[in-house]
Amino acid sequence: MCPTTDPTEEVKHKRYIEILADETSRPIEDVAPVYDDVMADLKATAEVTDYVPIFAWRRARAILVRR
């Protein structure tokens, strides 16, 4: 799971992962690492982080759909 100091953010990330797992018909154990990797990549280069979770969700979904 993406490390964060905000408990609200962690809940949001867990929910995004659950939604991705449901939409792609994959287990959470397969989805979480993909989402976490994309999230970490985006956070490392983002100057404004407000929309990073949304972009991470979209990219992770695209990766999971292609697999």
pTM of the model: 0.83
Residue 10 and residue 27: Cα distance in Å, rounded?
A: 19
Encoded tokens for 2: 């993406």
Confidence grade of residue 9 (pLDDT, cut at 50, 70, 90): confident
The 10s digit of each residue's pLDDT in 32-63 is 999 999 999 999 999 998 899 999 999 999 99
Separation of alpha carbons 27 and 24, rounded Å: 9
- Residue 67 has a pLDDT of 80
What is the distance between the alpha carbons of residues 35 and 26, in angstroms, rounded to a whole number? 13
Name, in order, each residue with C-beta under 8 angstroms of 64's C-beta and a sequence gap of 6 or more. Answer: 20, 24, 26, 30, 31, 34
